[in-house]
Amino acid sequence: MSTLRERNRQDKWRRIRKAAESLFAERGFAGTTTRAIADRAEVGVGTVYLYAKTKEDLLLRIFVESIEAAIDEGFATLPDAPIVDRLLHVYGCFFAFYRRDLALARVLVREMTLGDVDLPANVELSMSFNRRVAALLGESALRGELRRDLPAELAATNTFALYLISLVAWLNGFVDEAGRDAMLRASLNLQLEGLGPREES
Amino acid sequence: MSTLRERNRQDKWRRIRKAAESLFAERGFAGTTTRAIADRAEVGVGTVYLYAKTKEDLLLRIFVESIEAAIDEGFATLPDAPIVDRLLHVYGCFFAFYRRDLALARVLVREMTLGDVDLPANVELSMSFNRRVAALLGESALRGELRRDLPAELAATNTFALYLISLVAWLNGFVDEAGRDAMLRASLNLQLEGLGPREES
DNA sequence: TCAAAAAAATGAGCATGTTCATGATTGAAC
DNA sequence: GTTCAATCATGAACATGCTCATTTTTTTGA
């Protein structure tokens, strides 16, 4: 196997990644030029484009694995608590991640949800995350905390939708962190209880 | 009141708007240059930027009022049917609107949900729409179709979240139109019923 | 060890969004 | 009608994402 080639590639990518990450933090996404990234990484501009299709792609590649870590962290530290609190914990890990840099989070979420068509949409990531939430809900259903016949995957997607709306509200500055948490908790509770009339037997 | 000034302004805006709209339809958003817009509108490039902060802003200004029309249309033609069908009808009007040009819809939704910070985020539009959906749910609650103590605004936001997820799934090509409709219907039903266990008295 | 092929790197150059110094148009005051 | 200030319009010039013909590096095979 080609070792020198491989090592060179990995080294270049590491440098580009590091340069981009630091520059995004220092000057924001729009404020960072691809030239600046190339300079700091000590490569040519063209080289950057051998490792990422576009500037947006670069951002995604850099942060997606951090997000994966945040997900794992969330599921690894689940509290022994009612299902709503467990969900809030998981989604709270996302919030904590995005909190590090709100402006960047904005771009990141935008690209992840409706990014360029010919970019590698991280379908895998979404699917696997949804399955994990579904598993959480499934457990809860088994314990009798939720309906036994719960369509877990669908329910998981619903909770994700509620998370996404509160995330957008937060990133748009409509609510602060407390408001965001209150909003998500309330909407999750409403999803649990349902909108329908209490049926009397 | 300044009549000539005003007329000139309106005429310029009309021409710019028309030019941009037709070019976006012909060549897509990314494929349309601001120079092309200016040329077709028979104004200078700089003039375009007197009427819209950015190219994205131009897109938003052009289509937001069409969206308003779609909303009004939706509420004006509500079917006399169960609440889920009424909601599907309203959100279906959005789908019908976006259906005209999927690629453009993608950009439009992206800008509307997480557009540039210093662009006029159409908070008014969202708020008034949410209130109208809330009113719909409120009526339904009064008729006994939904819980009497329903927090209508929150419930409206929840249904909007579910709509948004199905919209994104559709725009990303994860589901086709039928799948999108099925998805929204199922998730709305689940929101109505709730996730909690059927309580037995 | 050395050609030659394959792969990777490069940065000048292009395309295009946006700005801004300059000039044209309009409305008001007299 | 003239003047003048306020507003509006303009496109050359700039900034920057991205490409691609050329050059450099690495691997292969004999």
Q: What would the pLDDT profile of B99-150 be if each residue is shown by its tens digit?
A: 999 999 999 999 999 999 888 778 899 999 999 999 999 999 999 999 999 9
Of the partner residues A151, A165, A196, the one whose CB lies closest to the CB of residue B160: A165
Task: Give the pLDDT of residue A162.
Answer: 98
B33-CA/D12-C1' distance, Å: 17
A118 interface with B at CB cutoff 8 Å: no
Do the chains contact at A198 and B161, CB–CB below 8 Å?
A: no
Q: Sorting pLDDT into bands at 50, 70 and 90, what band is A2?
A: low
Locate the chain B residue with the closest alpha carbon to A118. Answer: B172
Q: Distance between CA B74 and CA B63 in Å, rounded? A: 16
Task: Give the pLDDT of residue B199.
Answer: 60
Task: Give the pLDDT of residue B82.
Answer: 97
Task: Give the pLDDT of residue A120.
Answer: 78
Q: Sorting pLDDT into bands at 50, 70 and 90, what band is B196?
A: confident
Rounded to the nearest angstrom, the minimum Cα separation between B115 and chain A is 8
B77 interface with A at CB cutoff 8 Å: no
User: Contacts of residue A150 in chain B, CB cutoff 8 Å?
Assistant: 195
Residue A121 has pLDDT above 80, yes or no: no
Q: What share of chain A is helix, strand, coil (3-state, %, to 5)?
A: 75, 0, 25
A60-CA/C4-C1' distance, Å: 39
Residue A196 has pLDDT above 90, yes or no: no
Q: Quick one: three-class SS letters along chain B?
A: CCHHHHHHHHHHHHHHHHHHHHHHHHHCCCCCCHHHHHHHHCCCHHHHHHHCCCHHHHHHHHHHHHHHHHHHHHHHCCCCCCHHHHHHHHHHHHHHHHHCCHHHHHHHHHHHHHCCCCCCCCHHHHHHHHHHHHHHHHHHHHCCCCCCCCCHHHHHHHHHHHHHHHHHHHHCCCCCHHHHHHHHHHHHHHHHHCCCCCCCC
Of the partner residues A110, A194, A197, the one whose CB lies closest to the CB of residue B110: A110
Looking across all nucleic acid strands, the nucleotide with the smallest C1' to CA distance from residue B49 is C18
Average the pLDDT over B194-201 and give the result. 71
Residue B1 has pLDDT above 60, yes or no: no
- DSSP SS3 for A73: helix
Condensed to tens digits (0 to 9), the pLDDT of residues A131-142 reads 999 999 999 999
Both tokens of A157, joined, read 């997607």
Q: Sorting pLDDT into bands at 50, 70 and 90, what band is B200?
A: very low
User: Contacts of residue B195 in chain A, CB cutoff 8 Å?
Assistant: 137, 146-147, 150, 155, 191-192, 194
Q: Report the residue count for chain A.
A: 201
Task: Give the pLDDT of residue A199.
Answer: 60
Place of tokens 């909190």: A99
Start-end of H helices in A44-151: 45-51, 55-76, 83-99, 102-114, 123-142
A174-CA/C24-C1' distance, Å: 43
Looking across all nucleic acid strands, the nucleotide with the smallest C1' to CA distance from residue A44 is C10
B11-CA/C28-C1' distance, Å: 24
In whole numbers, what is the pLDDT of chain A averaged over residues? 95
Residue A188 · residue A175 · CB < 8 Å: no
Closest C-alpha to B162, from A147, A186, A162 = A162
Higher-confidence residue of A53 and B199: namely: A53
Q: Sorting pLDDT into bands at 50, 70 and 90, what band is A47?
A: very high
- DSSP SS3 for A197: coil
Radius of gyration, alpha carbons of chain A: 20
B148 interface with A at CB cutoff 8 Å: yes
Of the partner residues A106, A144, A164, the one whose CB lies closest to the CB of residue B164: A164
User: Contacts of residue B164 in chain A, CB cutoff 8 Å?
Assistant: 161, 164-165
In whole numbers, what is the pLDDT of chain B averaged over residues? 95
Percent over 90 (pLDDT), chain A: 90
Q: List all residues 6 or more positions away from A17 whose beta carbon is below 8 Å from its beta carbon.
A: A61, A62
Task: Give the pLDDT of residue A50.
Answer: 98
B130 interface with A at CB cutoff 8 Å: no
User: Contacts of residue B106 in chain A, CB cutoff 8 Å?
Assistant: 114, 117
Do the chains contact at B195 and A192, CB–CB below 8 Å?
A: yes
Task: Give the pLDDT of residue B118.
Answer: 85
A149 interface with B at CB cutoff 8 Å: no
Of the partner residues B158, B168, B187, the one whose CB lies closest to the CB of residue A113: B168
User: Contacts of residue A201 in chain B, CB cutoff 8 Å?
Assistant: 200-201
Residue B201 has pLDDT above 50, yes or no: no
